[in-house]
Chain A
Amino acid sequence: MNKVRIGYSEMTAFIIIMIVMKIFIGYPRIITQQGATAAWLLPLFSGLLAIGLWLLIMRLLERFPGESLTKITELLLGPVLGVAVNIVVVTFFCIKTALLLRVFCEATTLTILTETPLSAIALLYLFGATLTVYHGIEAISRSASIALPYILFSILTVLVVLYPYYDFKKLLPIMGLGGWPLLKNSLVGISSFGEVIALAYLISFLPFDKRKIRKIGVKSISISMFLFTIFIAVYLMVFVYPTSTETFVPIYQLTRSIFLGHYLQRVEAFFITFAAFTAFLRLAMGLFVTLHVLKDTLKLPSYHPLLAVFSLLFFTFAFTPKDMVQSVYVESLLGMNYGWIAFVLPLLLYLIALLRKKGENRVK
């Protein structure tokens, strides 16, 4: 068992930041492309679905109290297949975080540091993330818990000060592309909340009972769902649908539109600072989860020796896509189109547990 213990609000903030960070990059654009004028309904439907799936996943975790998903995978699939599946999970986390790093770098270059080399920005992001991970999950989760109110406040401020530009007519037709596409995209849209699975891998840090763990997942998804919904709604109300599908960093476009009088008309750089801060934290979280799952898989006593190696690996993976377009494409593919896979693995495991009747004795 880990000696480190994470509090309820800290872990909730950890998961919320992992999910919500997407708002600072291309997520609103991708959702708008999928849902058209009804895009704001997508996170709502997907979120409710994700909550349902999370409750199912919790049934699996309840069968193996105190065990992380890494361990459960091994218990259910055996030592060979279990380790192999866990390695695949590590690879998934690794590539996804590395691509996020690339997208953050591209977004930063595109918005506030237009002349700074991409690799220099990547190095700063990686340096920050590595240093944060070095201090451990306690430092990450506490930082997340302290920073979350300010991050949420900055997002909500952007949304509120854009009030003069709201045009509710831009949300029409209310069902967008129609009922079926909306439902289909909602199913795929659970990818938006795939990060909640990280909680199942970090369970050994949580010193409380199953009800609270379940609550963390539900609360994280609910808050993120609410934020996504209102953000996309405002995004659609400010920009017309066709325009909203073309902006690379929607939040930057929104902040550029802010006009707070003659002296405060270009405050995007200020808000991007919050976005950058969140990006640092999100990368650190991704790096930590990757290393933690690997540590658990390979039964290592500490992940610290792997830190430098994985930082380098992230840097390499981040620069594998040859240009921005490709990196955005791969990221959206992995993050949005096939991100739902994150829910599939634990559900499959639950099915296996049910069929093989594993873990029942533990519950008893």
Chain B
Amino acid sequence: MAKGFWQKFREKIFNFEDIQHQERFILTPMTDETGNGKQKENNAQKGKETGEEQGDSTQENSKQENGGQNSGQENGRKENGKDSPEKGKRKIKKPLSLQKAALKEIPDDPEQLRVSADLETNREYINKLYVLPKNKDIIVRDFYIALDPPLKAFMVFIDGLAANEIINNAILKSLMVLIEEETKVDYAHLAEYIKEHLLPGHDVAVLENYRSILDMVNYGNTAIFVEGSDRSLVIETKGWDRRTVSEPETEQVILGPQEAFNETLRSNTGLIRKAIRNEKLITEMVKVGSQTNIDVAIMYLDDIANPKLVEEVKRRVESIKTDYMGAAGVLEQFIEDAPYSLTPQVLTTERPDRTVSFLVEGHVAIIVDGGARALIVPITLFSLLHTPEDYYLRIPYGNFVRILRVVALFITILTPGTYIAIVNFHQEMVPTELLLAIAASHATVPFPTVFELFVMEFSFELIREAGVRVPGVIGNTIGIVGALILGQAAAQAGIISPILIIVVAITGLASFAIPNYSISFALRLMRFIFAIFAAFFGFLGIAGGLLFFLISLVSMKSFGVPFLAPVGPRTRTEPDVVLRGPVWSMEKRVDYLNPLDKKRQPNISRGWIKNSQRRRKK
């Protein structure tokens, strides 16, 4: 009866529906008769928040409350006279109030759910949406905001994701302790008032829709529901355990920054922002994964990146319908143009400096929360073969390593095939002495060269894979044992010819010189294809293989950009394709991206040259 009275009281007396902002507030009595005793009991048991009168309701409380009178549904049932002790006394069924009717059927889709002005209704929503009390790491904490009269409220956060320190000091202390007694509350705009006057948090949002509230809470924020307010306050409280910024593992450089991305999205975007101190750097967020709801950041420079490219990237990422998006590698497969192609069409990097260099060029970076990599689109084959170090080194050194890498590429794909072609078909190409040496080394081997080569290449791949999978120290040991001892033993046993071991070793070494992990994988696979072609047709097979390779590359596109640009098709470019020119000569951005601002630096970027003595003399 008391409950019914208060409900009526709230609805009829204190419900200011004519307020323009539709902000409802309801004064809540100091002592809530429904279940307050149980809350106090819980407080006593847990010993939490001693010295405060307000109830401390964790999810354990929720469990009890759920079974107790606090439950809206229970209340509903009571009103219906089904489970109420007053069941027999009531003869006329009263119609349900709007709020209670709403509680009867809580939609499963939080998108359709809005925050209610009634705190208990919100509590029920939260219980239902978070499947409380089954869900043990969802914390629901009841408290009173120390206003006059005190306002009942509760907060929701996820244990382990939210920072307890922020919750205690910046939220609870501010709302329960540090409020001045004579504060004049603007009840008409309660949520805004609390946000602007009472909460010291740096990032506080006022939200109405449960979908957005849940998204925020699921990402480590804390939502506060206040009696009488049909809006929720969501405070930034992210504070899970995270890996700190460490050194890159797969893209190491000697000169240059030693920072790498980690698994925290904001940390990664921060690393990029730290390097690009420009308000035109845009970070757009897209949610991907129906179950995981992972944030995917799309970053670009608004005044440089081609809007059509940005739109295309957003279109592809937003269109993804999947339950789980684990890492950048999964997203890459969802957005690339030719997923069956051997060569990747998206560049994956763990280096913020490399990401930055692409962003200022007009590319778009995509970072998946939880993945310590950034995806760069669009890319060309040449950018896959570059490293940041090429630019950090002086021109001759930078070009030397680039030439080395191109040679390494061809060694990786062609050496095994060429060896088979020469030994099986074109022996005349080999100088006589070398031919004799090959013949002598192969004399004791009982297998044909093709078989020998495939066994050795396969063994090499096994060693590599084992070295990656087993723990660190043992991994190195496996590499040494596998490569050295196994190879030497096989040669001594006369199973494999020593020259072949040299061929396989050189091929393996060259494949390690390829800077990008994905393209290195592609080249490793390609060498098998070339070897098969060479085994059947010698150099003709290799020529055929080269044609297939070239055709597949020229017909491929990465987000609309031809993969072999600026060579096929030929487009205007600065001296930075295979070899690189001086940094001061790269005056324009790449043409194939069609950036908004084509100019990178003035024709004379070294201002001091203008004023130099030599120029004056001329």
Establish whether residues A142 and B569, one from each chain, have CB atoms under 8 Å apart when the complex forms: yes
A263 to B435, CA, bound (A): 11
Please, which residues of chain B bring their CB within 8 A of the CB of A265? Answer: 431
Additional pairs, 5, CB under 8 Å, beyond known A112-B426, A273-B539, A280-B544: A124-B541, A124-B544, A266-B429, A269-B426, A270-B539
User: B107-142 interface mask toward A, CB cutoff 8 Å, 1 = contact, 0 = none?
Assistant: 000000000000000000000000000000000000
CA distance A280 to B541 in the complex (A): 11
Partner pick for A280 among B422, B543, B569, CB 8 A cutoff: B543
The residue that A269 contacts in the complex, of B428, B434, B568, with Cβ under 8 A, is: B428
| Interface presence of B474 (CB below 8 A) | no
The answer, yes or no, to whether A359 is at the interface (CB within 8 Å) is no
Interface centre among A120, A139, A146, A273 (most CB of B within 10 A): A273
Nearest-neighbour CB distance to chain B for A70, whole angstroms, equals: 25
Binds B, one of A47-55, A59-67, A129-137: A129-137
In the bound complex, what is the Cα–Cα distance between A262 and B435 (angstroms)? 13
Contact status A116-B428, CB under 8 Å: no
The smallest C-beta distance from A7 to any residue of chain B, in angstroms, reads 5
A116 to B424, CA, bound (A): 12
Is B277 on the interface with A (CB-CB < 8 A)? Answer: no
In residues 263-280 of chain B, which contact A (Cβ within 8 Å)?
none
Determine whether the beta carbon of A135 is less than 8 Å from that of B539.
Answer: no
Alpha-carbon distance between A132 and B422 when the two chains are bound, in angstroms: 27
Choose one: A112, A113, A116, A143; the contact of B550 (CB below 8 Å): A143
**Chain A contacts of B550 at CB under 8 A?**
143, 146-147
- In the assembled complex, 20 residue pairs joining A and B whose CB atoms fall closer than 8 Å, in A order, are A9-B570, A10-B570, A112-B426, A124-B540, A124-B544, A131-B551, A136-B555, A142-B568, A143-B550, A262-B431, A263-B434, A265-B431, A269-B425, A269-B426, A272-B539, A272-B540, A273-B539, A273-B542, A277-B546, A280-B543
Q: Indicate whether A334 reaches chain B with its CB closer than 8 angstroms.
A: no
Q: How far is the CB of B87 from chain A (nearest CB, A)?
A: 76
CA distance A121 to B541 in the complex (A): 9
**Given contact pairs A142-B569, A262-B431, A277 touches B543 in the complex (Cβ within 8 A):** yes
B409-447 CB mask vs A (1 if < 8 Å, else 0) is 000000000000110011011010010000000000000
Mask: chain B, 522-544; 1 = CB below 8 Å from A; 0 = not: 00000000000000111111111
Interface assignment of A276: CB less than 8 Å from any CB of chain B: yes
Is A267 positioned at the interface, with any CB of B under 8 Å from its CB? Answer: yes
Which residue of B538, B543, B555, B568 is within 8 Å of A145 (Cβ)? Answer: B568
Shortest CB-to-CB span from B544 to chain A, Å, is 5
Please tell me if the beta carbons of B554 and A146 are within 8 angstroms of each other in the complex.
yes
- B489 interface residue, CB < 8 Å from A? no
Q: Does A82 contact B (CB under 8 A)?
A: no
How far does the Cβ of B511 sit from chain A's closest Cβ, in whole Å?
Answer: 22
Residue A138 interfacial (CB < 8 Å): yes
Q: Which 10 A-B pairs have the closest CB atoms?
A: A276-B543, A142-B568, A269-B426, A142-B554, A139-B555, A135-B555, A277-B543, A273-B539, A266-B428, A263-B431
* Residues on the B chain within 8 Å of A270, using CB: 429, 539
Interchain CB contact under 8 A, A116 and B537: yes
Given contacts A10-B569, A269-B429, A270-B429, contact A113 B540 (CB under 8 A): yes
Number of A-B contacts (CB under 8 A): 99
B567 on the A face (CB < 8 A) = yes
Size category of the A interface is 35 or more
* In the assembled complex, B44 has its CB within 8 A of some CB on chain A: no
A272-297: which have CB < 8 Å to B?
272-274, 276-277, 280-281
Bound together, the chains give a CA A39 to CA B487 distance in angstroms of 58
> Given A113-B540, A124-B537, A281-B547 in contact, is the A138-B555 Cβ separation under 8 Å?
yes
A327 interface contact, C-beta 8 A: no
Q: Is A321 positioned at the interface, with any CB of B under 8 Å from its CB?
A: no
- CB-CB under 8 A from B421, the residues of chain A are 269
A112-B539, A266-B428 known; A135+B551 contact, CB < 8 A:
yes
Tell yes or no: B564 within 8 A of A by CB. yes
Chain B's closest residue to A115 (CB) is: B425
Nearest CB on A from B411, distance (A): 16
Within the complex, the shortest CB–CB distance from B313 to chain A, in Å, comes to 23
Q: Is the CB of B425 within 8 A of A112?
A: yes
**B14 in the interface (beta carbon within 8 A):** no
Main secondary structure of the interface of A (DSSP, over half): helix
Q: A176 contacts the other chain (Cβ, under 8 Å)?
A: no
CA distance A184 to B422 in the complex (A): 46
Binary B-proximity of A3-27 (CB < 8 A = 1, otherwise 0): 0000101100000000000000000
Smallest beta-carbon distance A24→chain B, Å: 12
Q: State whether B554 touches A139 (Cβ < 8 A).
A: yes
Which residues of chain B (176-204) have a CB below 8 Å from chain A? none
Query: Residue on B with the closest CB to A264?
Result: B431
Report the separation of the CA atoms of residues A132 and B544 in the bound assembly, to the nearest whole angstrom. Answer: 11
Smallest distance from the beta carbon of B277 to chain A beta carbons, Å?
Answer: 40
Interfacial chain A residues near B555, Cβ < 8 Å: 135-136, 138-139
Nearest chain-B residue to A135 (Cβ)? B555
* A146-B428 contact given A269-B538, A277-B546, A280-B543, CB 8 Å threshold: no
Check: A108 CB closer than 8 A to any chain B CB. Answer: yes
For the complex formed, measure the closest distance between the CB of A285 and the CB atoms of chain B, giving whole angstroms.
12
B165 CB to closest chain A CB (Å) equals 60
**Residue in A116, A132, A266 whose beta carbon sits within 8 Å of that of B547 in the complex:** A132
Which A residues between 211 and 270 are near B, CB-CB below 8 angstroms?
262-270
Which residue of the partner chain B has the closest CB to A274?
Answer: B543
Residue of chain B at shortest CB distance from A265: B431
Q: Which residues of chain B come closer than 8 Å to A131, judged between CB atoms?
A: 548, 551
In the complex, how many angstroms separate the beta carbon of A209 from the nearest chain B beta carbon?
19
**Alpha-carbon distance between A113 and B431 when the two chains are bound, in angstroms:** 19
- Evaluate contact between A267 and B542: CB separation under 8 angstroms: no
Residues of B within 8 A of A269 (CB): 421-422, 425-426, 428-429, 538-539
Among B429, B431, B544, B564, the residue within 8 A (CB) of A142 is B564
| Among A112, A121, A265, residue most surrounded by chain B Cβ atoms (within 10 Å) | A112
CB distance from A161 to the nearest CB of B (A): 15
Q: Is the CB of A113 within 8 A of B570?
A: no
Q: Are B539 and A128 in contact (CB under 8 A)?
A: no
Interface string of A104-124 (1 = CB under 8 A from B): 000010001100100011001
The CB with the most chain B CB atoms within 10 A, among A124, A262, A267, is that of: A124
Question: Provided the pairs A121-B537, A142-B569 are in contact, do residues A132 and B543 lie with their beta carbons within 8 angstroms?
Answer: no
Name the A residues within 8 Å of B564 (CB-CB): 142, 146
- Chain B residues with CB under 8 Å of A281's CB are 547
Question: Residues 135-164 of chain A: 1 if any B CB is under 8 Å from the residue's CB, otherwise 0?
Answer: 110110011011100000000000000000
Name the CB-closest residue of A to B542: A273
A321-356 interface (Cβ within 8 A of B): none
A241 to chain B, nearest CB (A): 28
Contact A146 B543 (CB under 8 A): no
Chain B residues lying within 8 Å of A139, measured Cβ to Cβ, are: 551, 554-555
Shortest distance between the CB of A12 and any CB in chain B (Å): 11
Q: Which residue of A lies closest to B567 (CB)?
A: A146
Taking CB as reference atom, which chain A residue is nearest B544? Answer: A128
Question: Which residue from B428, B539, B551, B569 sits with its C-beta under 8 Å from A276?
Answer: B539
Q: Which one of A116, A136, A273 contacts B543 once the chains associate, using CB atoms below 8 Å?
A: A273
Partner of A113, one of B425, B434, B546: B425
Residues of chain B within 8 A (CB-CB) of A127 are 544
Q: Of residues B422, B434, B548, which shows the largest number of chain A Cβ atoms within 10 Å of its Cβ?
A: B548
Q: In this complex, what residue of B is CB-closest to A279? A: B543
Residues 58-92 of chain A, each 1 if its beta carbon lies under 8 Å from chain B, else 0 = 00000000000000000000000000000000000
Closest-CB distance, B498 to chain A (whole angstroms): 20
A277 to B554, CA, bound (A): 16
Cα(A102)–Cα(B526), bound, Å: 29
Q: In the complex, what's the smallest C-beta–C-beta distance from B545 to chain A, in angstroms?
A: 9
List B541-576 residues whose CB lies under 8 Å from chain A. Answer: 541-544, 546-548, 550-551, 554-555, 562, 564, 567-570
Task: Decide yes or no: A132 and B541 within 8 Å by CB, A143-B568, A266-B428, A269-B428 being known contacts.
Answer: no
Interface centre among B425, B536, B540 (most CB of A within 10 A): B540
User: Chain A residues near B570 (CB, 8 Å)?
Assistant: 7, 9-10, 145
